[in-house]
Structure 1
Amino acid sequence: MDIATVVGLISGFIFIIWGIFISGEIGSFIDIPSILIVLGGTLASTLISYPIKSFLGTSKVVKNAFLQKEISPDNVIVEIIQLANVARKEGLLSLEEFGEKVDDEFLKKGIMLIVDGTDPELVRNILETELVFLEERHTEGQSIFETMGSFAPAYGMLGTLIGLINMLQKLDDPSNIGPSMSVALVTTFYGSFFANVVFLPMANKLKIRSKREILVKELMVEGLLSIQAGENPRIIEEKLKTFVPPELRDDYKSQLESEEA
């Protein structure tokens, strides 16, 4: 569970509702037609913009934002160094047994390619091609939420125009002008709210997670190719730790030392 996503989403709702309570009445901001216009219109336009399969897959994308467990670069480096030591002592074929126990499918695939004696350049091409398509799939999920974030304010304005038109039809009754104007503006509120509290932050979270995952996969590629080239585990360690921010390298070193112990 990603605590930051949950806390951020809940706190966004709480602070806005709190502000409404302080300055007015929450009932003035509850309007079902406005919600229908903003959410219904946003979903409809998004469905028009993307294939039905991509649209229906949004639930999986949302799940990734909340539940996906990120792979630590530190853990991957430790695993790669272990692989390098095994390969150095027992040969590349000995990695097959180790590879069968690996949970990450991408790393497992790379290990098996090496064990099968695949040409290093071909190994790189296969793994990097998989990375390209992985990034494209991630980008599509991000763009869906970015699209929803752009449509929501537009439908908020559309709902406001609808409310103003309804208000102008009742100008002969001054008592209806205030409530009608309030309802018209509430739709703009919903459009801005859903865009800036839900859709766009979700797109940003998915984008950051995608970049981190791609970084870890690139680390795996470099590590595996270094092992296949027969490089010294210490050299591989120095090469891979450049993927880790300087402030986190002490944590990585202590983890590696504990594994060796």
Structure 2
Amino acid sequence: MDFNSIIGIGIALVAVFGGQVLEGGHHASLIQVTSLVVVLGGTLGAVLLQSPVRQFVLAMKMSRWIFVPPVLNPEAVVQHIATWSAAARKEGLLALDNHVEGIDDPFVRKGLQMVVDGTEPKVLQRVLEVEIETFEDLHHQGAKVWEAAGGYAPTIGILGAVMGLIQVMENLSNPADLGAGIAVAFVATIYGVGLANLAFLPIANKLKTLIARQVLLRDMLVDGLVGIAKGENPRLIAERLKGYVV
């Protein structure tokens, strides 16, 4: 569980609603279901229009990373590579066949199996690099869905505010209600700007960071597997991989 995300959301909500109270307003005035429906519905429609179904579904699945990010353990990768390289050095590459079955990650399993099969180091590196590039591009497309939502939401918020003002102008015969009506109309703008800058854009940026860390971990793994395929010294491989660990 990523408690940073939970704490960040909590601080943002407290800041917004607390600021409203400190200014002499009431927090209930910021809760307008109609404005929320306009902003969320309009943003969702724009994003769906822009994004292919596969990309949108991937973006929704990736959203769980905000609270439950992928497990990334570079130290464990160094340890595994060190174990595999030592086994290959001592017993030969075929000895690694016993390690393949216990691996759950398809990328790692494929790479190690290619080493066992005696794939040339350059071919091994290129095949795995293509998979990394595909992984990175695919998941960046998912992050861009949230980035697009952050771009559309403020404009949809303004649209909601204008719609509210239209309703106000149609009821000019009741001057006493104009102030409250205008205030309600601008809540849509708050929702649009707030969701964009406190949710959608931060989510997009966090996903990009997590993608970059996964790519780095895979680059690290490829470096180690290529080293094993070349028959490099296990200690040298481990020391080189430690340079990836920050």
TM normalised by structure 1 equals 0.89
Q: Answer whether contact 1:70 1:213 (CA < 8 A) is retained.
A: no
Q: Which residue does 1:12 correspond to in 2?
A: 12
Supply the AA of the counterpart residue of 1:3.
F
The residue number in structure 1 matching 2:180 is: 179
Residue 213 of structure 1: how far off its partner (Å): 0.4
Partner residue, 2:126: 125
Residues 108-134 of structure 1, C-alpha deviations (whole Å, 9 max, x = no match): 111000101112222111101100110
Query: Offset at 1:170?
Result: 2.3
Rounded to whole Å, the distance in 2 between the matches of 1:55 and 1:70 is: 23
Q: Specify the alignment match of 2:99 in structure 1.
A: 98
Q: Which sits farther off after the overlay, 58-67 or 150-159? A: 58-67
Specify the alignment match of 2:228 in structure 1: 227
Report the aligned-residue RMSD.
1.4
Unpaired runs of at least 5, structure 1: 246-261
1:240-259 to 2 correspondence within 5 Å? Answer: 240-245=241-246
Match of 1:32 in 2: 33
> Contact (CA 8 Å) 2:69, 2:210: kept in 1 or not?
no
Corresponding residue for 2:167? 166
* TM superposition shift of 1:27: 1.7
Counterparts of 2:52 and 2:228 in 1: how far apart (Å)? 42
Q: Give the Cα–Cα distance (whole angstroms) in 1 for the partners of residues 144 and 156 of structure 2.
A: 18
Per the TM alignment, residue 2 of structure 1 is displaced from its structure 2 partner at its CA by: 1.7
How far residue 169 of structure 1 moved from its aligned partner, in angstroms, is: 2.2
**Cα deviation code 1:132-184 (max 9, x no counterpart):** 11001110111000000111101111111112222222223211210111011
Name stretches of at least 5 consecutive residues in structure 2 with no aligned partner. Answer: none
> Deviation of residue 69 (structure 1)?
2.9
- How far 1:20 sits from its partner (Å)? 2.4
Q: How many residues align?
A: 245
1:41-56 mapped onto 2 (5 Å cutoff): 41-56=42-57
The alpha-carbon deviation at position 234 of structure 1 amounts to 1.6
- 8 Å Cα contact 2:120/2:229 also seen in 1: no
Could you tell me how far apart the structure 1 residues matched to 2:144 and 2:123 are?
31
Partner of residue 65, structure 2: 64
